[in-house]
């Protein structure tokens, strides 16, 4: 029997590949890659002499037979996706199922994952969580899914296109409420950015669009407790005392504590008017 290795690769920074992944890629009789160009860049960077063959959503069925033939000879096959762990919103499910059914060994070679990386920096409970992948494109199916999650207490993680991120955040806020959330963009890459705050505020901040790979983390039901007004007022007064503007205070508190930026800004203006009138 042969062995199919499901190999995680970096989600951005090429230094995030594991030593084991490099060894497996170098020793494999067949390397299957969602995008051979990306995999060649990774291999060339680390001196791995592999000749990847494409396996993507449109040719996976055709690649299964060839892969099973290699495994039947006792060969070693490595499966990688564009980035992160294969099968997580990426091709490979049919191939893994076929290899298991044929009695071959299927081994994970763990590594980078946008899901876990976003959870680690979101500032929200990381366990338990539910991974949703990409939400359905059709509004009815998307809304039905979100409605079914309205009362669920676990943290939600999903992927989204930069073109749809603002609309998705807005719809999540409408159905799930103003929960604390995080938008993690371009994780481990040069332009990495992590935005934190209530869903409505994040929708506003992303209204102009975004670029790159995006992972959204949303707090579970019951995580949207109203902040203490006295706590907000104290933080605003401390900001004014330090010379900050109302706009800067609102942005800082929204990022750090998950408060609504607009609500904090309006309250800051009110407090400033009260101070001037006394």
CA count, 13 A, side-chain hemisphere, 139: 4
Residue 224's H or E segment, with its range, is none
CA atoms within 13 A on the CB side of 71: 27
Q: How far apart are CA 226 and CA 259, in angstroms?
A: 9
Structure tokens at 24: 């497996």
DSSP 22-49: HHHHHH-SEEEESSHHHHHHHHHHTT--
As given in the structure block, the two tokens for residue 92 are 């490979």
Q: Is 57 exposed, middle or buried (0-12, 13-18, 19+ CB in 10 A)?
A: exposed
Per-residue pLDDT of the chain (278 residues; tens, 9 = 90+): 899 999 999 999 999 999 999 999 999 999 999 999 999 999 999 999 999 999 998 999 889 999 999 999 999 999 999 999 999 999 999 999 999 999 999 999 999 999 999 999 999 999 999 999 999 999 999 999 999 999 999 999 999 999 999 999 999 999 999 999 999 999 999 999 999 999 999 999 999 888 899 999 999 997 555 566 777 888 899 989 899 999 999 888 776 665 667 888 889 999 888 877 66
**What are the residues whose beta carbons fall under 8 Å from the beta carbon of 40, sequence distance 6 or more?**
52
Q: Give this prediction's pTM.
A: 0.79
Give the residue ranges of DSSP H helices in the chain.
Answer: 19-27, 36-45, 60-72, 93-101, 114-121, 139-148, 165-176, 199-205, 229-241, 246-257, 261-277
Token reading at 8: 């995680």
């Amino acid at each position: 029997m042969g062995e199919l290795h499901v190999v995680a690769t970096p989600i951005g920074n090429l230094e995030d590949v594991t030593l084991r992944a490099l060894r497996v890629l170098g020793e494999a009789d067949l390397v299957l890659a969602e995008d051979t160009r990306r995999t060649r860049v990774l291999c060339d960077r680390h001196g791995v002499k592999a000749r990847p063959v494409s396996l993507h959503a449109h040719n996976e069925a055709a690649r299964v037979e060839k892969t099973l033939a290699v495994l039947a000879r006792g060969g070693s096959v490595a499966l990688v996706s564009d980035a992160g762990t294969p099968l997580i919103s990426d091709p490979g499910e049919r191939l893994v199922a076929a290899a298991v059914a044929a009695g071959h060994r299927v081994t994970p070679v763990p590594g980078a994952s946008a899901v876990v990386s976003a959870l680690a920096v979101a500032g929200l409970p990381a366990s338990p969580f539910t991974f949703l992948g990409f939400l359905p494109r059709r509004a009815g199916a998307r809304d039905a899914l979100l409605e079914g999650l309205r009362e669920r207490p676990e943290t939600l993680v999903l992927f989204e296109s930069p073109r749809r991120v603002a609309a998705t955040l807005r719809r999540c806020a409408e159905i799930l409420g103003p929960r604390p959330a995080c938008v993690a963009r371009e994780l481990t890459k040069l332009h990495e950015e992590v935005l934190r705050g209530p869903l409505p505020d994040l929708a506003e901040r992303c209204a102009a669009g975004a670029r790159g790979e995006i992972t959204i983390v949303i707090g579970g039901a019951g995580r949207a407790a109203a902040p203490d007004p006295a706590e907000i007022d104290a933080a605003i007064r401390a900001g004014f005392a330090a010379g900050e503007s109302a706009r800067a205070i609102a942005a800082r508190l929204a990022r750090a504590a998950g408060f609504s930026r607009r609500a904090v800004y309006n309250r800051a203006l009110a407090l400033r008017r009260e101070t001037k009138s006394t």
